[in-house]
Amino acid sequence: MDDPEFTDYLGFRTLGVRDGAFVIELDLEPRHMSRAARAHGGVLFSLLDTALGRAVIEELPAGRGCATVELKINYFRPVQKGTIVATGRCVQKTRSLAYAEGDIVNAEGKLLARASATFFLTDTLQQPDRERV
């Protein structure tokens, strides 16, 4: 699956599944920073949302998709430079919902953020308006 424009614009690099987790990395640039000169929380949120969603999609038959219902994130330490890595794992899946968890770490392996999310499972990757969540 190719990266959509949004994640490509942010600079996310999909590494695929490694050790049972979906992995994405990002080299931090000035465009990722907040006014406080650290990675903006929205960038970290997007990175985890993408990693967790892709972990869920990996567990589904080809052509199916998911939509984020809710995502909770905890930020543990600021990051100002370097490469950060997000991993996502699908922990539980039913017919209509999936639950995933994931982390972001820096190059030293220090935990930067952790998230858990619930996803609505869809019959197709893209849904017409009448089928949206």
pTM (two decimals): 0.92
Nearest to 114 by CA among 83, 80, 86: 86
Cβ atoms of residues 39 and 84 within 8 Å? yes
Along the chain (133 residues), what's the average pLDDT of each consecutive run of 10 residues?
Answer: 78 94 97 96 97 96 95 97 98 97 97 98 81 56
The predicted pLDDT at position 124 comes to: 85
The continuous run of DSSP H or E covering 46 comes out as helix 41-58
d(CA 43, CA 31): 10
Cβ atoms of residues 93 and 66 within 8 Å? no
The predicted pLDDT at position 130 comes to: 65
The predicted pLDDT at position 125 comes to: 82
The predicted pLDDT at position 126 comes to: 81
